[in-house]
Amino acid sequence: MSNKGIIINKSYDPLILKTVVRRYWWWAALLIIAFASFAFIYLRYTKPTYESSMILQLGDKDSAKDVLDIENINSRDNELSGVVELLRSELLFERALKKLNLNVSLFSRGEILTEEKYLSSTFNIQPYQLSDSSIINQEIAVRSKGNSKVELSYFVNGKNQKVNGKLNERIKNEDFDIVVKAADPEIFHKVSKDNELFFIFNGREQLSNRMIKDLSVAGIDANAKTISISFRGHNATLCRDVVNAVSTSFIEYDEEQKRRSSENVIQFIDAQLDSLSSEVRIAKDSLISYQRKSQLSNPENAGASITDNVNKLQDQLFELEEEYNGLLNVKRKLSKSPNRLDVYKILPELLGKSYETSLAGHLNELHGFLERKEDLLFEVTEANSEVVIMNQKIASKLRIIQRSIGAIEERFSRNISAIRGKIGSLEGEAFELPEKKMEFNRLKNIQNLNEKYFTLLTEKKVLYEISDAGYASTNRVLSKAKINLVPVAPSRNFVYSAFVLFGLIIGLGLILFQYLTFNEINMIEDLEHILPEQASILGGVPLFKQVLEYSQLVVADAPKSMMAESMRKIRTNLNYIHPDYKTIAISSSISGEGKTFVALNLGGIIAMSGKKTILLDLDLRKPKVHLGLDVDNVVGMSSLIVNQTTLDECIHHSKVENLHFITAGPIPPNPSELLLSKRFQEIVEELKERYDVVIIDNPPVGLVSDGIKNLTDADIPIYVFKSHYSKRIFAHRVKELFTMQQLKSLNVILNGVKSKKSGGYGYGYGYGYGYGYYENSGYTEEVEVKSKKWYQRIFNRK
């Protein structure tokens, strides 16, 4: 128990649980209904989100590889992640949006929701010219004026603009030149009256940034090279078209890049062949001209051995120099901060070179880094951390390539120098041959070398053309995107389940809270559970159907009622407790528990048994007996104790024979002193001699201590609780009476018990306790009104 008087029920009590569930079950039901209603409203006024998806499979077929055992440079190898990034890129998404013709978006705004009318609008916009870019992404309202007339209104540069025109005719002003098209002007007019129609000129970049967030691309199976492409939006048709446009744009872009790569390689070989063909022709003409001039017919036999060796060395030298020049060309291209296209063009130049294996892998990685950087720059700036990291990777890879080229270059230089030295040695040996023969051999060697290189390039061109002809891309759509009219969000079942479950949890939580903090006394079983063993329970007093303003003597008017019967049972129990009782003191914890009602009717039922009974109103702060018995309170116990009047002057007779009473009298400034005075004891003793039973209506001992001595001195002390009103914490006051006030016995009555036969609520009080009763008491009084409103009768089930 806290210092504020709140009890936490830590143990299981089926009586409390039954009472709480019976009283508050409707909380859970009401919350479930309320949250189900919230779910309905949420679903009713939340725009549904649709999703369309497809599965794309990457593939290529290289027939030439099986025939010629060569691999096309366009062949894919573990690049699924790269394709996924390409499909996610703004570059490809903007290409896809161009196919959908989304220059203008049409909308219809209702009372709550705004719907994008993609391919389903009653009107359409045909733009011819947009003069002012500031109206991009601005709403332009479209209103039908009847008779095929239309009004356009928008806000631009701080001004409201209006333009009037006709349907299906050009409308032009300083900002734009458009046509508002409507197949059926009557339907357009009707829709315009019911909804607010407007359109927006879309900026390509803004539209892409807005829509790309709803695009989702993910790899499914790296081995199968399958990719899932999906798009979410509020229009199912638009979702399908976006997904199909993205896949189509990728396939076209992929084929375009492969075709461009093949053309670049063939163009490079053709350029080399054109250059060599001229050199072969010049060399041949020079040799023929020299033969005619020198009249040297067959010089091959002279110095055949030297010539053969020189030829072999020349062949090696030519190949080394050719590769060396190619290496220098690659080095030159890489020395000037190459971009992705430069690196891409270098790759074909490595074909057939001895250093192809050493550099191709690094160049491919460099190409990948550059390509990734370009993709990032579509989304972020140069200062982005990912771009900075990618620049570092590019610089590192360039340094590795440069070191590799330097090592290869050094090797070529050594080999070329060695071969040239051998050739020089052989040429020195042949220097002694006739000058004509040496010149002839020189020219012949040049011719042979050019012809050999020309033949080599021609063969490579033929092989590559065959390889390119045998290679084909087999990208294909495994499952085509479709219009899915079942929204993916919000999920009706999930929303209803979640809201209802949330309402149920809150309802059960409130019921649990009511159970844990339950602090009412409802039934006699509650009293048996919480009162100390010394306390005896006399019985219960049922609820009285009629609403009374004050406590009244009701058993006299209805002697055969349930109320009278319950009082008779209590009267019988009093005889068992103390057969010769003379005094009964009645009290309670706080006002409103019905102690005065019990005192009046118990006194009446005892008097009806033939015993001469008198009722004393000792609640000197808030007297009530005179109100219930409808007499004046001019004189009474307060004036009698201070000897301002005589006992006979204070005694009143009630309508019940043998029942007399004395009212409280004027409210004194010192009620506690009066009740503890010797004069009061003398009055009680005198009344005990005159009457068979003296009943004392004490003040509430839970608020003041005035009546505790009367409870201690009385033959039968009675303590009143009220069902559904008294708090369980009041039982602590009863325990204090036994432990601190040395009370030997106490008898308890539960007032206001609602029986199954009772058809209404009992008497009520239209006043509260005051005059110091609540000072530092820690209690808040509960006041019953004369009548209850309809919603109180439904929900306040007490």
Looking at residue 429, its pLDDT comes to 58
Q: What value, to the nearest 5°, has the Cα angle with vertex 364 and ends 362 and 365?
A: 65
Helix 14-44 and helix 492-516, axial crossing angle in degrees, nearest 10: 150
Give 595's contacts (C-beta < 8 A, 6+ positions apart).
586, 587, 588, 697, 698, 700, 720
Give 360's pLDDT tier (boundaries 50, 70, 90). confident
Does 126 have pLDDT greater than 80?
A: yes
How do residues 485-502 score in pLDDT, each as one tens digit? 888 888 888 898 999 999
Type of residue found at 544: F
What's the pTM value of the predicted model, to 2 decimals? 0.54
Looking at residue 291, its pLDDT comes to 66
Does 1 have pLDDT greater than 70?
A: no
* Mean pLDDT along residues 516-532: 82
Does 601 have pLDDT greater than 50?
A: yes
Give 745's pLDDT tier (boundaries 50, 70, 90). confident
Looking at residue 295, its pLDDT comes to 52
Does 64 have pLDDT greater than 50?
A: no
Does 454 have pLDDT greater than 70?
A: yes
When the pLDDT of each residue in the chain is averaged and rounded to a whole number, the result is: 81
Q: How many CB atoms lie within 10 A of CB 370?
A: 21
* Mean pLDDT along residues 112-131: 87
How do residues 10-61 score in pLDDT, each as one tens digit? 677 777 788 788 888 888 899 999 999 999 998 888 889 999 999 999 876 5
Pick the closest to residue 551 from 625, 477, 500 (CA basis): 625
Kindly report which listed range (81-95, 274-288, 694-708) carries the lowest average pLDDT score. 274-288
**Pure H helices in 433-519:** 435-470, 492-516
Looking at residue 645, its pLDDT comes to 93
Type of residue found at 514: Q
Highest mean pLDDT among 280-289, 505-514, 737-746: 505-514
